Amino acid sequence: MNFEQARFNMIEQQIRPWDVLDASVLQLLSVVKREDFAPTAHRGLAFADLEIPLSAPSELAMSLGQCMLAPRLEARLLQDAAVQPHETVLEIGTGSGYMAALLAHKARSVVTLEIDSALAVSARENLRKAGVQNVEVRQADGAALRAGDGMFDVIMLSGSVTMVPDALLALLNVGGRLCGIVGDEPVMRATIVTRSSTTALRSVQNWDIVAPRLHNFAEPSRFQF
């Protein structure tokens, strides 16, 4: 397989037409080798417009149905986050480590949380092989974060939630942004919440998409007869 041609086609046929026009993001996608973060069994699908299942030697990973998000979704979130070189980033949902690698090229440092220990180990190895040195992979439940767990300029949710927890928003510095997919099927929206002051938040929702759930975040109760 010609990976470079496949990478070019991914950028030009999937990502650029999806309103990802930031030259720095497009350049980054051509540099960070997505195929090196895909499971060996699915390496040939690294550039396809689909979610790639992540296999790991644990029952937890199988039950959670972990996956790499579609390339155009990751690229659009990365563009929306507008990470700057001086900023610190928190990612929830490490998966294979690919998004963490993209964020690392833009940020001063990245902390990324993965609930499954086997995937956390695999992501660390993927990042090491890619030469990424400013990412810390922690095996932790992002839904359990509380005030005092650090402050960040950008929080990236690599998966969807029904609503953004106040506990996460409390970890944003002034000027910081949280980016993620919010809502319930069939309607989810890409959401950016910006902390404009110590007491004020501003939220915008620019585009629709459906993405797999992050685990252990609160779900609304379902009325049943």
3-state secondary structure the chain: CCHHHHHHHHHHHHHHHHCCCCHHHHHHHHHCCHHHHCCHHHHHHCCCCCCEECCCCCHHHHHHCCEECCHHHHHHHHHHHCCCCCCEEEEECCCCCHHHHHHHHHCCEEEEEECCHHHHHHHHHHHHHCCCCCEEEEECCHHHCCCCCCCEEEEEEEEEECCCCHHHHCCEEEEEEEEEEEEECCEEEEEEEEECCCCCEEEEEEEECCCCECCCCCCCCCCCC
The least confident of 57-61, 142-146, 178-182, 194-198 is 57-61
- Rounded to 5 degrees, φ, ψ at 64 are -80, -20
Q: What is the mean pLDDT of residues 199-223?
A: 88
Highest mean pLDDT out of 39-43, 125-129, 211-215: 125-129
- DSSP-assigned beta bridge partners for residue 157: 92
**The pLDDT value given to residue 56:** 53
Q: Are strands 187-195 and 201-208 parallel, antiparallel or unpaired?
A: antiparallel
Return the higher-pLDDT residue of 58 and 210.
Answer: 210
pLDDT in tens, 156-209: 999 999 999 999 999 999 999 999 999 999 999 999 999 999 999 999 999 999
Assigned token pair, 187: 């309607």
> What pairing do the DSSP bridges indicate for beta strands 172-184 and 109-114?
unpaired
How far apart (Å, rounded) are the C-alpha atoms in residues 2 and 112?
31
pLDDT band at 66 (very low <50, low <70, confident <90, very high): confident
Q: What digits encode the pLDDT tens for the residues 93-117?
A: 999 999 999 999 999 999 999 999 9
- Give me the residue spans of the domains in the chain: 3-208
Report residue 121 as tokens: 């180990």
Per-residue pLDDT tens for 13-42?
Answer: 999 999 999 999 999 999 999 999 999 999
Please provide the average confidence, as pLDDT, over all residues in the chain: 93
C-alpha torsion angle, residues 62, 126, 172, 187 (rounded to 10): -40
Whole-structure pTM over 0.85, yes or no?
Answer: yes
pLDDT at 149: 82
Asked whether the predicted pLDDT for residue 147 surpasses 80, the reply is: no
Residue 38 near residue 89, CB atoms below 8 Å: no
Given the candidates 3.40.50.880, 3.40.50.720, 3.40.50.150, 3.20.20.70, the CATH classification of the domain at 3-208 is 3.40.50.150
